[in-house]
Structure formats: C-alpha cells, structure tokens
Amino acid sequence: EDKVVQSPLSLVVHEGDTVTLNCSYEVTNFRSLLWYKQEKKAPTFLFMLTSSGIEKKSGRLSSILDKKELFSILNITATQTGDSAVYLCAVYYNYGQNFVFGPGTRLSVLP
C-alpha cells in the first residue's frame, strides 16, 4: 500500500535550536515531494523536490530528497517561535494523478 510516514510526530524545542524533520515514502512512479507548513488553518507551500541530492533553501529552512533511500528531510536552523506549526509532507505519484499526505510533524518552539 502506498504511504508516507513522517517522524517525529511531535517535537518541542527551544528558540535557537536546529531541527530535522523526516519524511519517508513508499509509492509507485514517484513524481514529486512537497513540504507544507500549517499554522492555524490552510497549509502553505514551502518546497517542491523532484531530484535527488539538490538542496532547496529558503532562509533558515532547507530540504533535500533522496530518491534511492525514499526519504526527504526538512531542516530548520535557529528556530523561532514563529516556526511553531504542523509540517506536512506530500508525495505525488502515478503520473501526478495520485498523491498522499503524511500525518505531519507538530513542532513547538518555546521562547
């Protein structure tokens, strides 16, 4: 069965810490992997990854994909309280007509 697994499911850190969020997947005909941040309501887009080994970076956030080992990581350096959110991983597969979201990682950053 196609699936996406995220770990940890919940994480509490202090401001200034660096965190690594994990997303592993088992799907057929992988097309892309996306990371979203969900604060109060609507998820907002962070990164889209399609190729292995190419790091995507935006400020303190970065992400990379390993298509051989079937996982992606999302790194956040120098965390701030505003980074507190649920981080969602989603994988598109089967020529883009199927996708699945992981359960999310709830990150809490304490002052």
Which one of residues 48, 61, 70, 73 is an interface residue with another protein (CB under 8 A)?
48
Binding segment for another protein among 19-27, 63-71, 75-83, 90-98 (CB under 8 A)? 90-98
For residues 31 and 98, give the distance between their C-alpha atoms in angstroms, rounded to a whole number.
10
Count CA atoms closer than 13 A to 62's CA, side-chain side.
Answer: 9
Please state the closest distance from residue 18 (CB atom) to another protein, in A.
25
**Interatomic CA distance for residues 94 and 16, integer angstroms:** 40
Q: Is 97 in the site for another protein (CB under 8 A)?
A: yes
- Count other Cβ atoms within 10 Å, centred on residue 81: 11
Q: Which residues pair with 14 in a beta bridge?
A: 110
- Among residues 23, 88, 107, 109, which is the contact residue for another protein, using CB under 8 A? 88
CB of 77 to another protein, least distance (A): 23
41 binds another protein (CB under 8 A): yes
SS3 106: strand
Among 24, 43, 65, 74, binds another protein (CB under 8 A): 43
β-pairing, 56-58 vs 10-14, is unpaired
Binding site for another protein (CB under 8 A): 31-32, 34, 41-45, 48, 50, 88, 90, 92, 96-97, 99-104
